[in-house]
Amino acid sequence: MSFNEFPSRLLENAVNEFASLPGVGRKTAFRLVMNLLKRDAEDVKRFGETITRLHDEVHYCKICNSISDTEICTICSDEKRDRSVICVVENIQDVMAIENTRQYKGLYHVLGGIISPIDGIGPSDLKIDNLEEKIITGSIREIIFALSTTMEGDTTNFYLYKKLGKYNIAITTLARGVAIGDELEYTDEITLGRAINNRNPYQQ
Amino acid sequence: MSFNEFPSRLLENAVNEFASLPGVGRKTAFRLVMNLLKRDAEDVKRFGETITRLHDEVHYCKICNSISDTEICTICSDEKRDRSVICVVENIQDVMAIENTRQYKGLYHVLGGIISPIDGIGPSDLKIDNLEEKIITGSIREIIFALSTTMEGDTTNFYLYKKLGKYNIAITTLARGVAIGDELEYTDEITLGRAINNRNPYQQ
Domain ranges of chain A: 9-57, 67-173
Please check the confidence at residue B13 and state whether its pLDDT lies above 70.
yes
Helix (H) or strand (E) holding B173: strand B170-173
A172 touches chain B (CB under 8 A): no
pLDDT at A9: 86
CA distance A174 to A145: 7
Please check the confidence at residue B2 and state whether its pLDDT lies above 50.
no
pLDDT at B58: 87
Please check the confidence at residue A130 and state whether its pLDDT lies above 70.
yes
pLDDT at A10: 87
Total-model pTM: 0.74
The 10 Å CB-count burial string (b at 16+, else e) for A6-23 is: bbbebbbbbbbbbbebee
pLDDT at B9: 86
Q: What is the pLDDT of residues A141-186, one digit of tens each?
A: 999 999 888 889 999 999 999 999 899 999 998 888 878 777 878 8
Cα dist from A59 to A62, A72, A149, A185, B4, whole Å: 9, 9, 29, 45, 20
pLDDT at B184: 77
Q: Given 3.30.565.10, 3.40.50.10490, 1.20.120.1200, 1.10.8.420, which CATH number is that of B9-57? A: 1.10.8.420
Name chain B contacts of A119, Cβ cutoff 8 Å: none
Please check the confidence at residue B4 and state whether its pLDDT lies above 70.
no
pLDDT at B18: 95
**pLDDT cut 90: percent of chain B above it:** 48
Q: Which of A14, A67, A97 sits opposite B11 (nearest CB)?
A: A67
pLDDT at A4: 57
Cβ A8–B59 below 8 Å, yes or no?
yes
Cβ B23–A21 below 8 Å, yes or no?
no
Cβ A52–B54 below 8 Å, yes or no?
no
pLDDT at A80: 94
Q: What is the pLDDT of residues B41-77, one digit of tens each?
A: 999 999 999 999 988 888 899 999 999 888 899 999 9
Please check the confidence at residue B84 and state whether its pLDDT lies above 90.
yes
> Average pLDDT in the B6-16 region?
88
> Average pLDDT in the B77-102 region?
90
Q: What is the pLDDT of residues B179-193, one digit of tens each?
A: 877 787 877 888 888
Name chain B contacts of A97, Cβ cutoff 8 Å: 1
Strand intervals (E) in B1-66: 59-60
Please check the confidence at residue B126 and state whether its pLDDT lies above 60.
yes
Question: What is the least distance, in Å, from the CA of A79 to any CA of chain B?
Answer: 17
Please check the confidence at residue A67 and state whether its pLDDT lies above 70.
yes
B30 touches chain A (CB under 8 A): yes
Going by pLDDT thresholds of 50, 70 and 90, the confidence category of residue A204 is low
Q: What is the pLDDT of residues A18-48, one digit of tens each?
A: 999 999 999 899 999 999 998 999 999 999 9
Q: Given 3.40.1360.10, 3.40.220.10, 3.30.565.10, 3.40.50.620, which CATH number is that of A67-173? A: 3.40.1360.10
B168 touches chain A (CB under 8 A): no
A23 touches chain B (CB under 8 A): yes
Please check the confidence at residue B170 and state whether its pLDDT lies above 60.
yes
pLDDT at A194: 81
**pLDDT cut 90: percent of chain A above it:** 49
* DSSP string of chain A, one letter each residue: ---S--S-HHHHHHHHHHHTSTT--HHHHHHHHHHHHHS-HHHHHHHHHHHHHHHHH-EE-TTT--EESSSS-TTTT-TTSEEEEEEEESSHHHHHHHHHHT---EEEEE-SS--BGGGTB-GGGS--HHHHHHHHHS---EEEE---SSHHHHHHHHHHHHHHTTSSSEEEEPPPSPPTT--GGGS-HHHHHHHHHT------
Strands B82-89 and B106-110: parallel
Please check the confidence at residue B8 and state whether its pLDDT lies above 90.
no
CA distance B127 to B132: 10
Name chain A contacts of B13, Cβ cutoff 8 Å: 50
Cβ A34–B99 below 8 Å, yes or no?
no
Please check the confidence at residue A115 and state whether its pLDDT lies above 60.
yes
Same fold for the domain at A9-57 and the one at A67-173? no
